Amino acid sequence: MLLNIEFDYEEEISLDFNFEDKAKQVINEALTLHNMPYDCNVSISIVSEEAIQTLNKDSRGIDKITDVLSFPNLEYEKIGDFSICEDEDLYYDLFDPETERLILGDIVICYKRATEQAVEYGHSLEREMLFLVAHSILHLLGYDHMVDDEREVMEAKQREILDNLGIVR
């Protein structure tokens, strides 16, 4: 499986680690754990508080700043079920026709909120940024956390991804 991640920095960031390499490792780990059968495209944008608040309002009807937003391209019958990709009528909606990669979706991270949460939770900015990537890629794979059972499953999978990579609190 090949993974292509497009990074867009709408907000200037200062990190003491290679975010792009580490984010790719997190996403690769998540896709490997879910037996991803396709090459994939994902986009990650780093944005300001104002930009994420506008996106949150426009996409979810919630007029407040958040740490991360996920915009999945697939609708799953069940988590990590890629059978929808076999529907030829959906090919141009799901795959990039030039690269034939599955378009998983978009991850949007508010850098300022991530820096605040790293301090609030008492861990590194690296851990916080990579946690947000893990959290968001799981949304792109069909996970949610609206009810307790789903939240517990998603939290366990986030921990597994980060623990497998040695990214701990």
Q: Could you tell me the domains of the chain? A: 3-164 (3.40.390.30)
What residues have CB less than 8 Å from 109, skipping those under 6 apart?
Answer: 44, 45, 46, 47, 67, 68, 129, 132, 133, 136
pLDDT exceeds 90 at position 143:
yes
**Per-residue pLDDT reduced to its tens digit, 81-104:** 899 999 999 999 999 999 999 999
In which band, very low, low, confident or very high, does the pLDDT at 163 lie, cut at 50, 70 and 90?
very high
What dihedral angle (degrees, nearest 10) is formed by the CA atoms of 92, 96, 29, 144? Answer: -40
Beta pairing partners, 68? 109
**Are 64 and 129 contacting, i.e. CB atoms less than 8 angstroms apart?**
no
Percent of the chain with pLDDT strictly greater than 90: 86
Whole-number mean pLDDT of the chain?
95
Q: Does the pLDDT of residue 67 top 90, yes or no?
A: yes
Hey, what are 108's tokens?
């949007």
* DSSP type of residue 67: S
* For residue 169, pLDDT beyond 80: no
Looking only at the bridges linking them, the beta strands covering 102-110 and 68-72 are antiparallel
The helix (H) or strand (E) run that includes residue 106 is strand 102-110
Give mean pLDDT, residues 117-131. 96
| Beta bridge mates, 40 | 3, 102
Mean pLDDT of 62-78: 94
Give the residue-averaged pLDDT of 147-163: 93
Q: What is the pLDDT of residue 138?
A: 97
